[in-house]
Amino acid sequence: MPRIRLVVTVVAIGMGVVVAGAQVSEVKPILRDVRLVTDQMLREPSADDWLHWRRTYDGWGYSPLKEINRHNVQQLQLAWEWAMDPGSQVTTPLVHDGVMYLASPNSIVQALDAATGDLLWEFRDEAELPRCAGRCGAWRSTRTRST
């Protein structure tokens, strides 16, 4: 649960920094319509949004949308693809108001237009942190841990 809140917080802060730092005319139309995520939205997400790692607080992990079913699933085709930075990929994309947020290895957060795959904004943390090398799941901190 804390990791989900961290990801949602990072995305919300990133959106605020990007939108606040840009002139209104520079903000892409899809970003002008993005609403702030409320506690109520997190408790009862819209069918069109995926705001948690498993979509809901109870970890349901299924979409309530009905457009795809066993009769038409074989007709699905690739609409777009996105290459992420190298490293261990364990992220679940979050979707809100038509924007898909991706967290990638090496402290990268990207926002994509979920319909087209176009990059809307990107944040690359340039802090002096150890780079993700080899097994990123076994990330080593410079802090001492007690065992």
- Per-residue pLDDT tens over the stretch 82-99: 988 888 878 899 999 999
Give the pLDDT of residue 29. 86
- CB of 32 within 8 A of CB of 99? no
For 34-81, what is each residue's pLDDT tens digit? 999 999 999 999 999 999 989 998 888 888 989 999 999 999 999 999
What is the pLDDT, as a whole number, of residue 130?
65
Q: Where are the domains of the chain?
A: 2-64+78-138
pLDDT in tens, 30-39: 898 899 999 9
For residue range 94-133, what is the model confidence (pLDDT) as tens digits?
999 999 999 988 889 999 999 999 999 999 988 776 666 5
pTM reported for the whole predicted model:
0.68
> Which residues lie below 8 Å from residue 101, measured CB to CB, with a gap of 6+?
7, 11, 14, 93, 94, 95, 109, 110, 111, 112
Query: What tokens were used for 61?
Result: 């992990």
Question: What is the share, in percent, of the chain residues with pLDDT greater than 70?
Answer: 70
